[in-house]
A and B are shown apart, each in its own frame.
Chain A
């Protein structure tokens, strides 16, 4: 940022009515002033920088280090593990679990966010109109998002329980026989995806609803005058104008969903077998899920997950930058 070309006026005005002749030339004063706020800024930023270094960078470094060593539990405490280079990465990438976990991760992530977005958008449009209780009801929709994941996860687990879960009882009324949602290999992944969609709807609803507020009513009125029905209004006005907000919602959803562990772990622990194991769950299980912690592969899988998240994050940044450029371009 070019500091010297910023508007000079307010900053140079001599505080306390100092006589102008004594004051140094404006430009020099401004420089000093800016340098001093820059130093103050760094001082105020220092706790955060220290925090990020100690509690983000260092654990991440340790993680990286774990992934290129062969850490046994003993070596983990003593810190004398053997350096193995990329052997862990090779092992992980060639293991049978990897393909399945990758497939599950992609399925879990994309099906979840697609459904969350579609349902969230439909609800946002529904709640755009003011009707009696609309505010209260919209607030109630936030509840699933605010509950601790262990609460919602265990509630879903009990609802989907094979013998006497409420879901099976309801299906039985329609003549559908018992389905072991959480223990049947054909259904476990579907079950955790369903619960996760439920969890993500509020987030999508809130953001998309906020986005809808920024679309001026006049556009709808104009469209109505032109004879567009509700369906056409949605596809010609709402959807195109909501695109920037949609993009951000989807990308944030992507990044959040990639790293989900709790819901899956609480409901199925990734099983039966590995049928509902995602990369994040796999990493968690290797490190903490069994009696035998295996930190090196766990860290390796985790690092691969970071790479995926960063790739999506990069798309997000590009998108945000382009939006900024668009906005600035619009101004005269």
Chain B
């Protein structure tokens, strides 16, 4: 029983830690609360001094405006996010497999290039893409934006997938080979199912990054027929500076994927952040 007493029983002695933890979290998340609060504030209360700390008289005008104005933008963002996930997986899953299991030479070089690729500022990429797209006539197109957004995720995805796949025992692949499976079938039927956690992590992040992207959207798609939600918010800010409840309501709605992600796939999120930084 000495083992039991060695550690303080959770509960009494750690209660102050829980209290402090709750306080710190509340402090950290105050801006998020404020966004929510403002989204429910009536326009006439917006300029109140001091501001209302709680939405005592909540209004849903802001959310009404979202439904009226921003539904197409939300749809566009969803499409761009999904397209970006598909493109990212299509490119990075085979490449991750090649780096983890197939290539004997050139691994280091490819990893190096991917690392450098992640360091290139997105402004630079945006200017480059703009210059290329002008000639191709891809400016203001959703496809062009999907391609551009995927460049945020692809290097990260290849590295995460390669790191994960190199943990798959080679014996499993050899077993598949003995059963007569070629490299492609081994990849599809053995490696991908085993690597589904990594695939999920990569998909979540590429979706979230595409959904959140502002720089590429504001440069490559700013006059498009179909603009993503980030531009929807930006246009709101430019147009009606008085109706911050609408802006913040849109912001709340635009945050939904992040919230869903955190609830549904928290361990993948934390895993993904760490995998990107401390590989191996």
The interface of chain A, by Cβ under 8 A from chain B, is 1, 3, 10, 15-16, 34, 37-38, 40-45, 47-48, 51-52, 55-56, 58-63, 66, 76-77, 79, 123, 126-127, 129-134, 137, 139-152, 154-159, 163-166, 169, 172, 198, 201, 203, 206-207, 210-211, 245, 248-249, 252, 255, 258-259, 261-262, 266, 280, 283-284, 287-288, 295, 298-299, 302-303, 305-306, 309-310, 312-313, 316-317
Encoded as 1 (CB less than 8 Å from any A CB) or 0, chain B from 100 to 111 comes to 011111010010
Question: Are A258's CB and B21's CB within 8 A?
Answer: no
Question: Are B233's CB and A44's CB within 8 A?
Answer: no
Question: Are A154's CB and B34's CB within 8 A?
Answer: no
When A148-B212, A150-B214 are in contact, do A169 and B126 touch as well, CB less than 8 Å? no
For the complex with contacts A60-B128, A154-B237, 12 further pairs of A-B residues with Cβ separation under 8 Å are A48-B154, A62-B128, A66-B127, A127-B21, A155-B32, A164-B49, A210-B278, A259-B122, A262-B215, A283-B123, A287-B127, A309-B121
CA gap between A79 and B51 in the complex, in Å: 54
Task: Report the number of A-B residue pairs with Cβ-Cβ less than 8 Å.
Answer: 305
Question: Are B116's CB and A158's CB within 8 A?
Answer: no
> Which residues of A are found within 8 Å of B35, using beta-carbon distances?
151, 155
Question: Are A261's CB and B102's CB within 8 A?
Answer: no
When A38-B105, A56-B151, A62-B128 are in contact, do A305 and B22 touch as well, CB less than 8 Å? no
Nearest-neighbor residue (CB-CB) of A299 within chain B? B127
> Which residues of B are found within 8 Å of A306, using beta-carbon distances?
119-121, 124
> Which residues of B are found within 8 Å of A45, using beta-carbon distances?
94-95, 98-99, 103, 110
When A56-B151, A60-B120 are in contact, do A132 and B273 touch as well, CB less than 8 Å? no
Quick check: is B262 within 8 A (CB to CB) of the other chain?
yes
Question: Are A158's CB and B214's CB within 8 A?
Answer: no
Question: Are B127's CB and A51's CB within 8 A?
Answer: no
Q: Distance (Å) between the CB of A126 and the closest chain B CB?
A: 7
Question: Are A148's CB and B211's CB within 8 A?
Answer: yes
> Which residues of B are found within 8 Å of A142, using beta-carbon distances?
262, 266, 269-270
Residue in B103, B121, B266, B269 whose beta carbon sits within 8 Å of that of A38 in the complex: B103
The interface of chain B, by Cβ under 8 A from chain A, is 10-11, 14-15, 17-18, 20-22, 24-25, 28-29, 31-32, 34-35, 38, 46-51, 90-92, 94-95, 97-99, 101-105, 107, 110, 112-113, 115-132, 134-135, 147-148, 150-151, 154, 158, 170-171, 174, 177-178, 183, 187, 208, 211-212, 214-215, 218-219, 222, 229-230, 233-234, 237, 244, 247-248, 251, 254-255, 258-259, 261-262, 266, 269-270, 273-274, 277-278
Q: Distance (Å) between the CB of A54 and the closest chain B CB?
A: 9
Residue in B46, B115, B132 whose beta carbon sits within 8 Å of that of A62 in the complex: B132
Which of B112, B118, B131, B178 neighbours the largest number of chain A CB atoms within 10 Å of its CB? B131
Question: Are B28's CB and A280's CB within 8 A?
Answer: no
CA gap between A44 and B39 in the complex, in Å: 48
> Which residues of B are found within 8 Å of A316, using beta-carbon distances?
115
Question: Are A203's CB and B177's CB within 8 A?
Answer: no
CA gap between A321 and B11 in the complex, in Å: 44
CA gap between A316 and B101 in the complex, in Å: 26
Question: Are B132's CB and A201's CB within 8 A?
Answer: no
Question: Are A44's CB and B94's CB within 8 A?
Answer: yes
Q: Distance (Å) between the CB of A70 and the closest chain B CB?
A: 14
Which of B128, B135, B212 neighbours the largest number of chain A CB atoms within 10 Å of its CB? B128
Question: Are B258's CB and A143's CB within 8 A?
Answer: yes
CA gap between A221 and B273 in the complex, in Å: 30
> Which residues of B are found within 8 Å of A158, using beta-carbon distances?
34, 38, 244, 247-248
Question: Are A143's CB and B29's CB within 8 A?
Answer: yes
When A146-B261, A261-B123, A262-B214 are in contact, do A129 and B14 touch as well, CB less than 8 Å? yes
> Which residues of B are found within 8 Å of A248, using beta-carbon distances?
277-278
